[in-house]
Every structure is written in structure tokens, then in C-alpha cells.
Amino acid sequence: EAEVAQSPRYKITEKSQAVAFWCDPISGHATLYWYRQILGQGPELLVQFQDESVVDDSQLPKDRFSAERLKGVDSTLKIQPAELGDSAMYLCASSWSDGTYEQYFGPGTRLTVT
């Protein structure tokens, strides 16, 4: 069964350092999402791609976060510089079309900023 792949699974970094996460969606899924999930909360959308284009990044802190999906397949989310408040689970998901379709999630990257 096809799965969404993410790496790394765990990342510990110091404040002010740069960190990057990678996601490979299910083959054929045009839409890719990055979510941030703070402990005890539901996931919150950071950015949504349709193929290689960003369709929603309204909740992405653009002063320190960036995301790209250059060839419309895999994607990278970067934080520079990391802050203590960025400690969270970062989840990637993909779907056939827009947010009205079921999304399939990867295992997530748990980030700890010290």
C-alpha cells in the first residue's frame, strides 16, 4: 500500500539553527500539505501545494519558514532560524485533489528546539 514518506522522524536542534524536513507524497497525488501539530492540539495547515504551485500559505510564518515543491513531487519545509516555539510535530499529507478529499498522512517529524 502506498504511503507518504517523511524524514527525519525526529530532529533536535538548537535555537537559531536551520532545520529542514522532507516529504514524498503518494504517487499521483497532485496536492501536498504541510501541517504543524502542537502537543494537545489538532494539526494546523502551514502550506498547501497543487502540483508545484502554492495555493495556501496564509498560516506560514514567512519570516522564518519556507516551503518548496520544485518538480511537483516531493517537498521540503525549512525553518531558519528555529525558535523554541517551533517545537512540534510537522506532518505532511497528500491527496488526489483539494482539501475536500481525504488526505493521507506521513509519520511526521517531531522537532525539538533547545
Q: Given the rule CB under 8 A, which residues bind another protein?
A: 33, 40-45, 48, 56, 89, 91, 93, 98-108, 110
Residue with cell 525558535: 83
Instruction: Quote the least distance from Cβ 98 to another protein, whole Å.
Output: 5
Instruction: Quote the least distance from Cβ 16 to another protein, whole Å.
Output: 26
Cβ neighbourhood burial of 101 (10 Å; 0-12, 13-18, 19+) = exposed
Instruction: Quote the least distance from Cβ 114 to another protein, whole Å.
Output: 20
Q: Count CB-CB contacts under 10 A for residue 13.
A: 17
Residue with cell 488526489: 96
Nearest to another protein of 25, 106 (CB atom)? 106
Beta carbons within 8 Å of 100's beta carbon, 6+ residues apart: none
Nearest to another protein of 5, 20 (CB atom)? 5
Nearest to another protein of 53, 71 (CB atom)? 53
Instruction: Quote the least distance from Cβ 25 to another protein, whole Å.
Output: 14
